[in-house]
Amino acid sequence: MVHELKVLPQYFKPLVMGKKTFEIRKADRDFKVGDTLVLREWDGEKYTGSYVRKYITYILRNCPEYGLMDGYCILAFRNTARPTACLD
């Protein structure tokens, strides 16, 4: 399954550089380990045209005792096998 998600510029750059290896998201989709994330840079009004593709490797859910609010999840990911970042 492929999930396309918006990412603000201040979070997008660390994703491309490989420094940010997770996303905290509302658990409003059926995210599964092995799914692909297409993280598209969003400037608040429109897409910039830049994106990066990642694979979900781990999902943390239902951990309010560690500060994760109900209805949210943390998605850990790695790069896809081939570089797939597109920067305009």
Full residue range of the structural domain in which residue 49 is found: 2-79
* CB of 26 closer than 8 Å to CB of 72: yes
Query: What CATH number is associated with residue 60?
Result: 2.30.130.30
Report the C-alpha gap between 55 and 38 in whole angstroms. Answer: 9
In a domain, 57, yes or no: yes
- For 12-44, the pLDDT digits (tens) are 999 999 899 999 999 999 999 999 999 999 999
In a domain, 88, yes or no: no
In a domain, 84, yes or no: no
DSSP state of 81: S
First to last CA, the chain: 26
- For 48-77, the pLDDT digits (tens) are 999 999 999 999 998 999 899 999 999 999
In a domain, 14, yes or no: yes
User: Number of folded domains in the chain?
Assistant: 1
Q: How confident is the model at residue 2, as a pLDDT?
A: 96
